[in-house]
């Protein structure tokens, strides 16, 4: 919420969501993830990027290759928007609850698909979601 | 032409030593494009450029300038299509500078030297024109390809009497789902099929949006009295769907298209036997 993070690419259209998916798949493959884990993090990226686009009114996404203290490689994704924010975070993370016409599984699903999940939001200021997945 | 009197050395040199400069230019340019374009073609291209440069070098700007840019653009576009890199194209233009400078050195004409700086920056501009045209041509190619990809229609094929197949490949967005749904429903009416197999082997990732689109398509087909089977669910997709919490409810799903076809045949009461002729 303090301007776009470094290395972030804009998410302003459905094509950007597709591009983001491809970038995440490439990063996950480079980190040495299994096909299952690649698909999981790509799907999480897809959900979060679409949230940024649909609910946040567009924003930015960033893909990072990270290594943890024990030397395991991973992929971290940061999605930021300056949209309306989420008034009730707990409700937004409840399965099946939707503010729009979706299935209401995107945010809770992305949380389950990733290993680490962080959500920062402020009503009227925007939302930043960070997820990380480590190779096994 | 302003200051034409003292600025005539270089144009004069381009005229009088035409064969020497042009010959050297072709030889220099040929080094960079060796083997991929014949020397005759190259000479024809460069001769055309040389004529136009000779005409424009004396004047500030005019009709010949636009013609020169057009000719350069044409060459650059052709090179882009033949797979040359933009630097190769630009380098063959820049080679003119060396060819001219060598001739200026041979004459020892000091005035021509001072004019050469201006000439050199003009040639640089021409090189940049080839760069611009090159990237414009490449962008056009990419735009065309994107359009073709979008136009990739999703065929609805007949697998058996009363069984339709819908092989889905690529990203499933709202616009495409709409096309798929319409085509499928129309074909259902035409063929009176009882079963439709939607194969998602070629869909790289199934997220909630894709799932929602699939469910809507199945529901619409169901309203018309057709049972849908979703096939091509690979292990990683299955695990992702479970993690996302998507439920396909009572919709039949199968791992492969073959399984789905066997299921549909069985439900239609068609028995396959290993024939005597096999």
Residue B151 has pLDDT above 60, yes or no: no
Chain A: residues touching B (Cβ < 8 Å): 14, 18, 21, 25, 35-36, 38-40, 42-43, 46-47, 50, 95, 102-103, 105-106, 108-109, 112-113
> Between B146 and A132, where is the model more confident?
A132
B206, B239 contact by CB (below 8 A): no
pLDDT tens track for B5-36: 445 788 888 888 888 888 888 888 888 777 77
The predicted pLDDT at position B7 comes to 58
DSSP per-residue codes, B14-82: HHHTHHHHHHHHHHHHHHHTTTTS-HHHHHHHHHHHHHHHHHHHSSSS-HHHHHHHHHHHHHHHHHHHH
Who's near B199: CB < 8 A, 6+ residues apart? Answer: B165, B166, B167, B168, B230, B231, B232, B257, B260
Cβ distance B207 to A40 less than 8 Å, yes or no, reads no
CA A71/CA A94 separation, integer angstroms: 34
Cβ distance A106 to B212 less than 8 Å, yes or no, reads no
CA B115/CA B11 separation, integer angstroms: 9
pLDDT tens track for A12-22: 988 888 889 98
Is domain A9-134 in CATH 3.40.630.10, yes or no?
no
The predicted pLDDT at position A48 comes to 93
Of B173, B204, B244, the CB nearest to A105: B244
The predicted pLDDT at position B63 comes to 63
Task: Spell out the CATH class of B157-267.
Answer: alpha beta
Q: Domains of chain B: which residue ranges?
A: 9-148, 157-267
Q: Domains of chain A: which residue ranges?
A: 9-134
- Distance from the Cα of B53 to chain A's closest Cα (Å) equals 44
Cβ distance B236 to A105 less than 8 Å, yes or no, reads no
Q: Which of B111-115, B143-147, B196-200, B203-207 has the highest mean pLDDT?
A: B196-200
Cβ distance B245 to A47 less than 8 Å, yes or no, reads no
Chain B: residues touching A (Cβ < 8 Å): 171, 173, 204-209, 211-212, 235-237, 239-240, 243-246
Of B205, B208, B240, the CB nearest to A21: B205
The model's confidence at residue A31, banded by pLDDT at 50, 70 and 90, is very high
- Distance from the Cα of B15 to chain A's closest Cα (Å) equals 54
- Distance from the Cα of A116 to chain B's closest Cα (Å) equals 14
A43, B240 contact by CB (below 8 A): yes
Determine the residue of chain A that is closest to B175 in CA distance.
A14
pLDDT tens track for B55-90: 887 665 556 678 888 888 888 888 887 878 888 888
User: Mean of the pLDDT values across residues B177-189?
Assistant: 85
**CATH code for the part of the protein at B9-148:** 1.10.490
Of A39, A50, A109, the CB nearest to B236: A39
Pairing state between β B227-231 and B195-202: parallel
The predicted pLDDT at position A133 comes to 94
- Distance from the Cα of A27 to chain B's closest Cα (Å) equals 16
Q: Give the residue from B269, B258, B265 showing the smallest Cα distance to B163.
A: B265
The predicted pLDDT at position A2 comes to 45
The predicted pLDDT at position B106 comes to 85
The predicted pLDDT at position A91 comes to 86
Q: How many CA atoms lie within 13 A of B95 on its CB side?
A: 24
Residue of B145, B172, B177, B205 to mutate, testing the A interface (most A Cβ within 10 Å of its Cβ): B205
ipTM of the complex: 0.74
Cβ distance B244 to A50 less than 8 Å, yes or no, reads no
Kindly list the residues from chain B whose CB atom is less than 8 angstroms away from the CB atom of residue A40.
236, 239-240, 243
The predicted pLDDT at position B1 comes to 40
- Distance from the Cα of A39 to chain B's closest Cα (Å) equals 6
The model's confidence at residue B2, banded by pLDDT at 50, 70 and 90, is very low
Instruction: Lowest mean pLDDT of A38-42, A66-70, B58-62, name the range.
Output: B58-62
Kindly list the residues from chain B whose CB atom is less than 8 angstroms away from the CB atom of residue A113.
240, 243-244
Pairing state between β B157-160 and A126-134: unpaired
Whether the model pTM is above 0.90: no
Alpha carbon B265 to chain centroid, angstroms: 42
CA B210/CA B173 separation, integer angstroms: 7
């Amino acid at each position: 919420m303090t301007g776009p993070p470094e290395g972030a690419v804009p998410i302003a259209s459905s094509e950007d969501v597709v591009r983001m998916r491809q970038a995440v798949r490439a990063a996950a493959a480079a980190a040495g993830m299994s096909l299952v884990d690649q698909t999981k993090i790509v799907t999480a990226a897809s959900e979060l990027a679409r949230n940024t686009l649909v609910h946040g009114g567009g924003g930015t996404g960033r893909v990072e290759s990270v290594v943890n203290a024990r030397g395991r490689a991973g992929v971290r994704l940061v999605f930021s928007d300056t949209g309306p924010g989420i008034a009730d975070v707990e409700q937004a993370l409840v399965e099946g609850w939707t503010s729009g016409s979706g299935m209401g599984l995107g945010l809770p699903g992305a949380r389950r698909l990733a290993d680490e999940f962080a959500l920062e939001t402020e009503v009227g200021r925007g939302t930043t979601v960070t997820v990380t997945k480590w190779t096994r | 032409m302003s200051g034409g009197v003292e600025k005539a050395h270089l144009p004069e040199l381009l005229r009088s030593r035409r064969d020497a400069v042009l010959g050297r230019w072709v030889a220099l340019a040929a080094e960079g494009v060796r083997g991929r374009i014949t020397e005759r073609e190259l000479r024809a291209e460069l001769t055309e450029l040389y004529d136009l440069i000779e005409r424009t070098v004396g004047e500030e700007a005019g009709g010949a300038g636009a013609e020169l840019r057009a000719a350069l653009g044409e060459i650059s576009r052709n090179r882009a299509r033949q797979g040359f890199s933009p630097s190769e194209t630009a380098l063959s233009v820049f080679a003119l500078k060396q060819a001219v400078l060598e001739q200026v050195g041979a004459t020892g004409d000091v005035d021509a030297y001072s004019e050469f700086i201006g000439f050199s920056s003009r040639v640089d501009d021409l090189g940049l024109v080839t760069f611009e045209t090159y990237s414009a041509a490449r962008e056009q190619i990419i735009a065309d390809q994107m359009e073709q990809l979008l136009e990739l229609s999703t065929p609805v094929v007949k697998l058996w009497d009363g069984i339709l197949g819908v092989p889905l490949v690529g990203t499933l967005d709202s616009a495409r789902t709409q096309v798929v749904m319409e085509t499928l429903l129309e074909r259902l009416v035409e063929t009176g099929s009882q079963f439709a197999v939607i194969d998602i082997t070629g869909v790289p990732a199934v997220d909630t949006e894709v799932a929602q689109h699939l469910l809507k398509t199945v529901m619409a087909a169901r309203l018309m009295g057709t049972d849908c089977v979703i096939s091509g669910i690979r292990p990683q997709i299955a695990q992702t769907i479970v993690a996302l919490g998507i439920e396909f409810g009572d919709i039949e799903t199968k791992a492969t298209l073959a399984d789905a076809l066997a299921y549909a045949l069985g439900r239609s009461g068609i028995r396959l036997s290993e024939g005597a002729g096999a």
